Amino acid sequence: MDQPSEQGTVFGAHIPFVTYCGIEALDVQEGRTRLRLALRPEHANNLGIAHGGVICTLLDVALGTAARLKAGRPVVTLDMQTRFLAPGRDVLLAEGRVTRAGRSVIFCEAEIRDAAGELVASATGLLKPVGESARR
């Protein structure tokens, strides 16, 4: 299912920080959310590659979108374990997926690859549904 997003909206949730970072929602397929980030100069660290903070943000948004769509309501990240595997450059593509969902917590995985398909970073996360459910 393709779900192009308006600026700052990621699969139905308005997240202003997503706009600030330049993260784009691509689509949802088989419960996996896909995102894109075209790196800008302000995303760089002192080595000229993607700063770890922007990598963590992209992973967190990938985890969160997958969990939110599964839960049908907002989620918050309780824990996230991140692995940095290669330098991030140019365009980064992220994918988030739910590995197990309970009523009170959701376990997710996410990864970021560069345009050539090389794995840049990955994460596992524990997310908690909050607020009102969209499902009735």
pTM: 0.90
Element at 57 (helix H, strand E): helix 52-71
pLDDT bucket at 135, cuts 50 / 70 / 90: low
SS3 content of the chain, % helix, strand, coil (to 5): 20, 45, 35
pLDDT at 2: 42
Cα gap 53→88, rounded to integer Å: 12
- Model confidence pLDDT, tens digit, residues 8-56: 678 888 889 999 999 999 999 888 999 999 999 999 999 999 999 999 9
Instruction: Output the average pLDDT for the chain.
Output: 91
Is-contact 83 119, C-beta < 8 A?
no
Cα gap 103→118, rounded to integer Å: 34
